[in-house]
């Protein structure tokens, strides 16, 4: 059995070809309008978003919830702070530096990143606070970017760093400052290269809003949301496990791996069930059991064979 086999989709759920082609045209037009409005590059390659086989057969979370109920601590600790406080943030121009244990270190402009083959990936997303969403991301596999810099043989981990702009991000300064900055995260190299791991540049057929991590963010759907570092400016390959902001801030609550595990409770609440945002209100009674690895166990469990997932949470 292949470890990386995509989820099985019933034939009855497969979109007819003519609808798929029409949807691609719609996505391209929508993304093109958003790109032009935001000042992002609008090359032909940047507007192509194909339908990915990596998709869950579940109702999408309403766009208004995905773009208004967020954790993005650079803009504040409240779920409504990112949309309220990110208006002044400028996601263009933008570059992402990739360095460390690579053969070809490089600083990539946003236009070059947008030119990588984009896919729409419908993923379950799970937050450590026991709420979840189903989100249609647009992005490209992180492995496609790593291939361009040619990781060296002794590279074992991938470290990420977000932008620091306290004049545009009120959570990074003064009274609102809550964490040491920049926000940092990390993955093992095999996790980073897994086909499910993407760098997202869009959502709901549009470029990423500021509050969702514009212009580029990490998406790792089998891990809790705090691993999904936003507004990335630097990626470094290393032979040592890199620091992770929440693991440093509260190691008894947030582990480096952050794999969704219903059997490991947060010290202050259970992770055994979750509230799907958009179904019965934010604090509704329509809870569902939390799935191991957020429902992606068939694809990723083999990455952790032999590991104690209670100790390595």
Give the residue carrying structure tokens 């083959």. Answer: 117
- In tens, the pLDDT along 95-153 reads 999 999 999 999 999 999 999 999 999 999 999 999 999 999 999 999 999 999 999 99
* Residue spans per domain, the chain: 54-304
% of residues, the chain, pLDDT over 70: 81
Report the candidate in 137, 157, 130 with the shortest Cα–Cα distance to residue 146.
Answer: 157
Residue 73 annotated as lining a ligand binding site: yes
Residue 1's pLDDT band (cuts 50, 70, 90)? very low
pLDDT band at 283 (very low <50, low <70, confident <90, very high): low
Determine if residue 304 is labeled as part of a ligand binding site: no
Taking the CA atoms of 11, 142, 213 and 249 in sequence, report the sign of the dihedral they define.
Answer: positive
54-304 — its CATH code? 3.90.420.10
Residue 19 annotated as part of some ligand binding site? no
* C-beta atoms surrounding 276 within 10 Å: 19
In this model, does residue 14 exceed pLDDT 70? no
CB hemisphere CA count around 288 (13 angstroms): 15
Annotated binding-site residue? 235? no
Q: Confirm or deny that 5 is annotated as ligand binding.
A: no
Q: Is 74 annotated as a binding residue?
A: yes
Per-residue confidence (pLDDT) for residue 175, from 0 to 100: 59
Query: Span 255-278, mean pLDDT?
Result: 93
For the stretch 205-235, what's the b/e string if a residue is b when 16 or more beta carbons lie within 10 angstroms of its beta carbon?
bbbbbbbbbbbbbbbbbbbbbbbbbbbbbbb
Is there a contact between 30 and 203 (Cβ–Cβ < 8 Å)?
no
Q: Is 162 annotated as a binding residue?
A: yes
User: Which three-class secondary structure state does DSSP give residue 122?
Assistant: strand
- pLDDT(9) > 70: no
**Residue 16 confidence (pLDDT):** 40
pTM of the model: 0.84
Q: Tell me: the pLDDT tens digits for 155-177?
A: 999 999 999 999 999 999 875 56
Rounded-to-5 percentages of helix, strand, coil across the chain: 25, 25, 45
58 annotated as a binding-site residue: no
228 is in an annotated binding site: yes
**What's the mean pLDDT in 16-28?**
38
């Amino acid at each position: 059995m292949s470890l990386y086999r995509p989820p099985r989709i019933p034939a009855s759920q497969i979109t007819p070809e003519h609808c798929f082609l029409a949807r691609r045209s719609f996505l391209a037009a929508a993304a093109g309008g958003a790109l032009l409005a935001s000042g992002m590059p609008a090359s032909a390659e940047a507007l192509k978003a194909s339908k990915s086989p990596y998709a869950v057969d579940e109702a999408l979370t309403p766009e208004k919830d995905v773009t208004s109920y967020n954790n993005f601590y650079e803009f504040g600790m409240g779920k409504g702070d990112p949309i309220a406080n990110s208006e002044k943030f400028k996601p263009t121009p933008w570059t992402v530096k990739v360095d460390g244990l690579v053969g070809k270190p490089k600083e990539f402009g946003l236009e070059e990143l947008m030119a990588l083959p984009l896919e729409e990936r419908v993923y379950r997303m799970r937050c450590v606070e026991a709420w979840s969403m189903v989100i249609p991301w647009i992005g490209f596999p992180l492995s496609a970017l790593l291939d361009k810099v040619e990781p060296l043989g002794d590279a074992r981990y991938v470290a990420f760093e977000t932008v620091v702009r306290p004049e545009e991000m009120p959570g990074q300064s003064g009274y609102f400052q809550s964490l040491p900055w920049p926000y940092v995260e990390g993955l093992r190299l095999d996790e980073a290269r897994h086909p499910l791991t993407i760098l997202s540049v869009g959502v709901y057929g549009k470029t990423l809003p500021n509050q969702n991590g514009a212009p580029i963010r990490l998406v790792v759907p089998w891990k809790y949301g705090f691993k999904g570092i936003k507004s990335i400016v630097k990626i470094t390959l290393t032979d040592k496990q890199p620091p992770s902001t929440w693991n440093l801030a509260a190691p008894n609550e947030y582990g480096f791996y952050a794999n969704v595990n219903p059997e490991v409770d947060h010290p202050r609440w259970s992770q055994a069930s979750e509230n799907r945002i958009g179904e019965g209100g934010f604090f509704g009674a329509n809870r569902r059991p939390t799935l191991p690895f957020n429902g992606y166990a068939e694809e990723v469990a083999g990455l952790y064979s032999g590991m104690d997932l209670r100790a390595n949470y």
